[in-house]
Structure 1
Amino acid sequence: MTQIDPDSTDPVAVFAGNAQHDQTFPKQEQNYEKLSDYLELNASYLPAMSIFDEAYEKYREKMQY
């Protein structure tokens, strides 16, 4: 959710914005596999899982500090 930028066309920012509006997105979940499974089954707004992979990597880097 930290990547949300309504003025950006960056795929991660667009994904973050769409996930924010997804009422059932597991926002508190941290497990990659659980998030990935949810997105594969429920997120028609995500055109490619590589976008999620990039967003998750940014999340992991941020959490290391």
Structure 2
Amino acid sequence: MRRSFYHYLMTQRDPNKKDDITLFANAVEKDGSFPKHSEQYDEISAYLELNGHYLPSMDVFDEAWNYYKENNA
């Protein structure tokens, strides 16, 4: 069964690590409006463009998305 991007991202959380993807995952966990069930790049990207104030750059999302695709094939 395929998992959502949110579900994958939650596996990247860590209160002690400070790399960009971990910080992104920690912030998404606190975002109650994040599209938790989506597997669609365009939907999540559009959401983050409008609401992802905690994301320093969309490059972080793109990198996390690439890891998600590699691990969710």
Counterpart among 18, 32, 41 of residue 27 in structure 2:
18
**Identity of paired residues, percent?**
45
User: 1:43: Cα distance to partner?
Assistant: 1.0
Once superposed, what is the RMSD of the aligned Cα atoms? 0.7
Calculate the TM-score normalised by the size of structure 2. 0.84
Do structure 1's residue 46 and structure 2's residue 55 form an aligned pair? yes
- State the distance in 2 between where 1:56 and 1:2 align: 13
Question: In the alignment, which of 2, 15, 21 is matched to residue 11 of structure 2?
Answer: 2
Q: Name structure 1 gaps, 5 residues minimum.
A: none
> How far apart, CA to CA, are the structure 2 residues paired with 1:61 and 1:5?
21
Gap runs ≥5 in structure 2? 1-9
Superposed, 1:26-65 pairs within 5 Å as 26-64=35-73
Q: Which protein has greater RCO, CA pairs closer than 8 Å, 6+ apart?
A: 2
